[in-house]
Amino acid sequence: MRFFTTPKLIQFLFPKWSWKGAGINSIYLTFDDGPNKEITPWILSFLKSKNIKATFFCVGEMAAQSPEILEEIINDGHAVGHHTMHHENGWKIAINDYLEAVKQSSRFINSRLFRPPYGKITLAQSKKLRKDGFNIIMWTWLSYDFDPQVSAKKIVTKAKKIKGGDILVFHDNDRDVEKTKEVLPKIINELLCRGLDFKTLA
C-alpha cells in the first residue's frame, strides 16, 4: 500500500525526527537523490521562475560528480542536506558503515540536515547522528514520482491533500524525468493559488 501522506501514528512513534515544518501556511519542498545532470537544472530553472526555494538532499557521490550543479543549488538560495554517500539503506548496513557514509558525504555537502535514503534508519544510527548535531528530516507527503506504477494524474490528485506545514518529497534523479516535469508545475501552481508559500528547512 502506498501512503502519500505519512500516517500520524508513525509521526507520533518517532517524535525526535522532523516530520513537518514550523510555518502553518508554508510548504517545505524537498528533492532527494541528486544532483542529477538531466533533471536538476530543469528543476532549478522552474523554481527560479516561480521564486521558490527548496531543500535538496544530495547523495555524496552525485555531488562529487556534479559540483557545478551543487554550487548552482546553493547560489540560487536553496538549502542542502545529506542523503549518505552512495544512497545507503540504513536497515541493511552496520551502524559504523552507515556513519562512515555520512562522514564521506560531508566532504562534499556542508549541512546539519540529514534524510535517510528510503526513509530507513535504525534507532541506533539516528541517535548517533543526532548526537553529532544532525537533524533527521522525514516528510508528511511523498510524491511517488519514482514509482512507474503511479501515474502523473494520480500524483496530482493526491497532492490536493497537501496542507500548510507539510514537507513534500520529490526526486531529482533520472528514473522518470518526464513525469517530474509534468507533475511538479501542476502541484506547485495549485499550492501557490491556495496562498501557500515555500520555505527551506535550513
pLDDT of 125 over the 90 cut: yes
CATH number for the domain including 99? 3.20.20.370
Q: Is residue 10 part of a domain?
A: no
Q: What is the pLDDT of residue 171?
A: 96
Q: What is the pLDDT of residue 133?
A: 97
- Are 121 and 93 in contact by the 8 Å Cβ rule? The answer is no
Confidence of residue 72 (pLDDT cuts 50, 70, 90): very high
Q: What is the pLDDT of residue 97?
A: 98
Confidence of residue 176 (pLDDT cuts 50, 70, 90): confident
Q: Is residue 164 part of a domain?
A: yes
pLDDT of 147 over the 90 cut: yes
Q: Is residue 117 part of a domain?
A: yes
Q: End-to-end CA distance of the chain: give it in Å, rounded.
A: 32
In sequence order, the 6+-apart residues with CB closer than 8 A to the CB of 169 are: 30, 31, 32, 139, 141, 142, 143
Q: What is the pLDDT of residue 23?
A: 87
Domains of the chain: total: 1
Q: How many CB atoms lie within 10 A of CB 68?
A: 10
Q: Is residue 179 part of a domain?
A: yes
Q: Is residue 9 part of a domain?
A: no
Q: Is residue 78 part of a domain?
A: yes
**142-153 average pLDDT score:** 96
7-66 confidence digits (pLDDT tens): 999 999 999 999 999 989 999 999 999 999 999 999 999 999 999 999 999 999 999 999
Q: Is residue 4 part of a domain?
A: no
**Rounded to an integer, what distance in angstroms lies between the CA atom of residue 92 and that of residue 82?**
18
**Rounded to an integer, what distance in angstroms lies between the CA atom of residue 103 and that of residue 105?**
5
Containing structural domain, residue 101: 21-198
**125-143 average pLDDT score:** 98
Q: Is residue 12 part of a domain?
A: no
pLDDT of 175 over the 90 cut: no
| The three three-digit cell numbers of residue 201, written as one number | 528547512
**94-114 average pLDDT score:** 97
Q: What is the pLDDT of residue 75?
A: 98
Mean of pLDDT over the chain: 96
3-state secondary structure the chain: CCCCECCHHHHHHCCCCECECCCCCEEEEEEECCCCCCCHHHHHHHHHHHCCCCEEEECHHHHHHCHHHHHHHHHCCCEEEECCCCCCCHHHCCHHHHHHHHHHHCCCCCCCEECCHHHCCCHHHHHHHHHCCCEEECCCEECCCCCCCCCHHHHHHHHHHCCCCEEEEEECCCCCHHHHHHHHHHHHHHHHHCCCEECCCC
Q: What is the pLDDT of residue 1?
A: 78
Entry pTM: 0.97
Q: What is the pLDDT of residue 202?
A: 80
Q: What is the pLDDT of residue 163?
A: 96
